[in-house]
Amino acid sequence: MKAFTGKHTCENCGETFDARLLHDIEDLEKRISPGEIVPSGQCPDCGTVCHIAKDKEAIDAMHVAIRDMDFAEQEDNFTI
């Protein structure tokens, strides 16, 4: 699955890579959650999943969404 082109940004180290530099994702089904954008590849530096590069505002909005998701999970734990 090397159909992707363009630039891709690592979720962890924030580096941007050309599509051809990305590695195939190991255990893809274990590393994504339902509803999550499917990553385009794996970072050749740190092994974290990468997504197609967006402008900075879009990336910031995504990080806020992830943070809100974490809070939701913690609240669920309190209601047991």
Of 64, 32, 67, which is closest to residue 51 (Cα–Cα)? 32
Q: How many residues bind Zn ion (CB under 5 A)?
A: 7
Binding-site member from 28, 37, 46, 69 for Zn ion (CB under 5 A): 46
Binding-site member from 18, 23, 37, 45 for Zn ion (CB under 5 A): 45
Output the smallest distance, CB 12 to Zn ion, in A: 5
Output the smallest distance, CB 10 to Zn ion, in A: 3
State the Cα–Cα distance between residues 12 and 27, nearest whole angstrom: 17
Closer to Zn ion by CB, 27 or 76: give it.
27
DSSP classification of residue 9:
E
H-helix or E-strand containing 41? strand 41-42
